[in-house]
Structure 1
Amino acid sequence: MFLPDLKYPLHSFSGRRIDFSQRVAVMAVVNRTPDSFYDAGSTFGLDEAVAASLRAVEAGADWVDIGGVPFSPGPALSWREEAERVVPVIARVRERSDAIISVDTFLPEVAQAAIDAGADVINDTTGLSQPGMAQVVAAAGVHVVLTHSLARPRTAYPRPHYDDVVGQVRDYLAAKVQRALDAGIEGSKIIIDPGHDLNKNTRHTLDVTGNFSPIAALGYPALAAVSNKDFIGETLDLPKQERMVGSMVAATMCIMGGARIIRMHNIPEAVQTVRLIEAAAGWREPVYQVHNMSDVNPPAHPQPARDRS
């Protein structure tokens, strides 16, 4: 298991602190969109989005990522309409939970409205591409997720080519980190994400998944957004609703390569995956131990002592 040398292991959010040298955070995906790739709009309604967020926290998620616009190509949405989708969810979840809340947006106006409603993190899948986003994050002192992607927001990027996908993604993220630091964002507020499937084909994403350690070695907590994605479906020939096992395997591979946050749809299964890895790493104790512990678990039917004469 690769243990990255984190520049800032301890991260403080509004209601929680996480030591990423000894923890893996589970981020739940909640999309308030009518056309999200996985849930097909089942959490588009406000009440449904809030309920899904709170269920995820109850199931063990540390973090809820709330989005109002898919990454996939499509028509632009005004910042006001996007904010109308995400801000009420953030406000209502914040009233009822101390979980970490991020907003998945690339627009600075939406980011500011989300921060005002209680968001802890701006999850920018375009890597601070929009003017003013870095300044909003820096001024508010919130966290930011810097993600590798190449296309302009909501546009296609046909046939992406990389000579060395892992190296090029790593270099891109290093440059984005420096841009964030230059803009006044504190290093202790930066998270990086190689962008599984974002402007990458399945082979590219598999290479990133199997060689995650150079990304994690940048020294900032690395996020792996692998849940139910197309690279799993194309590798295993499975539809979206049958990719849960593949998602857990991909998440495990990334964690073993140094990822410290996994962005997932299937929260109970993701929490179990993370807890087992953390226990194997020595970061947490088992909930109980009775197997081969005869002093606390005597045999139900004691056997007579063997004659050793």
Structure 2
Amino acid sequence: MGWAEQAHALTFRFAVPGSTRTPGGWQVQWHGCGVMGILNVTPDSFSNGGEHFRLTEAVAAARAMRDAGAVMIDVGGESTRPGAVPVSAAEELDRILPVIRALAEENVLISVDTMKAEVADAALWAGAHLINDVTALRDPAMRQVCADAGAPAALMHMQGEPRTMQQRPEYGDVVGEVRAFLQERAAEVLAAGVPSVLLDPGLGFGKTLEHNLSLLRATAELSDLGHPLLVGASRKRMIDRLAGVPVAAERDPGSLALHLHAARQGAALVRVHAAAAHVQALRVQAALDQVAPN
């Protein structure tokens, strides 16, 4: 079976857009590599700061990504770029709750990118469906929030924390260490009652260029952990290092190249800014790689 025919699923304990009722809960299923569209509602996002900061613009952008074929939209109210300064839970909620409430009426599967249990809880009550936590639910309160709500979680590997993670990242075996971390986190989170997980190797989060490239080359190995693999290389600085593109918003061609590689190696989702372009490219690549019937 080729990558484009590979089935992936997330399980929820409540009905969500696009889900099917199963004995184990409501499932969202897709084949091949799907797209998670990024919707940053922050004034300081590294690649599109302020672009979707207003409610009407945010909803229109999410609707466009959904209509283009994105599986889900990831709403973020706090930047996690290198050197980012934390914001309070109150400020983060002021940014994301109006967007979540509006998107809940748009038949959009909503992920929320947050590290705070208070924010995750309020976001789920407001109509979000999935929590994307760069700290991989290491906070017991985050695990409890997701378990109580019956919401899946995306678990990301990060060495350090956003303010300092890119200062001196070091690994003995980056692939082995990230793989072991994701296995351990998935086991603990599922044991806590969270219904299902996505696993994210955390490109650019406490990694050098060579660490990132090693992880991308090992996508097939990381995709074989029993849970859908989420890869997010969109507009990241590694593209500047590889191709000399200092302006983040101009890195979509490099993002496409990295994400097509990840898809062909088994990634279940790619987290992207240019959702329509990625959906189109993935469909064309899937047609090219389609396994011919015997």
Alignment TM-score, normalising by the size of structure 2: 0.88
Residue 212 of structure 2 corresponds to residue 218 of structure 1:
no
Q: Deviations over 1:275-301 (max 9, x none)?
A: 123334549xxxxxxxxxxxxxxxxxx
Tell me which stretches of 4 or more aligned residues in structure 1 moved more than 6 Å. Answer: none
CA contact (8 A) 1:126 1:153 kept: no
Residue 40 of structure 2 corresponds to residue 31 of structure 1:
yes
The corresponding residue for 1:83 is: 93
Q: Deviations over 1:238-286 (max 9, x none)?
A: 1223211111110011111110101111122101122123334549xxx
Aligned-partner Cα distance in 2 for 1:75–1:265: 22
CA contact (8 A) 2:35 2:70 kept: yes
Q: Based on CA coordinates, which of the two structures has the bigger radius of gyration?
A: 1
CA contact (8 A) 1:2 1:257 kept: no
**Matched residue type, 1:115:** L
User: What are the within-5 Å matches in structure 2 for residues 5-20 of structure 1?
Assistant: 9-12=8-11, 14-17=16-19, 18-20=28-30
User: What are the within-5 Å matches in structure 2 for residues 235-254 of structure 1?
Assistant: 235-239=242-246, 240-254=248-262
Match of 2:178 among 165, 169, 184: 169
The corresponding residue for 1:287 is: none
Aligned-partner Cα distance in 1 for 2:211–2:254: 17
Unaligned runs of 5+ in 2: 20-27
Q: Deviations over 1:117-158 (max 9, x none)?
A: 111110001111334000100110011000000213544441
User: What are the within-5 Å matches in structure 2 for residues 1-309 of structure 1?
Assistant: 9-12=8-11, 14-17=16-19, 18-20=28-30, 22-72=31-81, 73-96=83-106, 98-152=107-161, 154-186=163-195, 189-239=196-246, 240-282=248-290
1:132 counterpart SS class: helix
The corresponding residue for 2:24 is: none
- Number of residue pairs the alignment of both structures matches: 278
User: RMSD over aligned Cα, in angstroms?
Assistant: 2.2
Moved more, 272-281 or 237-246: 272-281
1:95 counterpart SS class: coil
Unaligned runs of 5+ in 1: 284-309
**Matched residue type, 2:239:** I
Shift of 1:99: 2.3
Distance 1:55 1:3, change over 3 A: closer
**Matched residue type, 1:161:** E
**Matched residue type, 1:193:** D
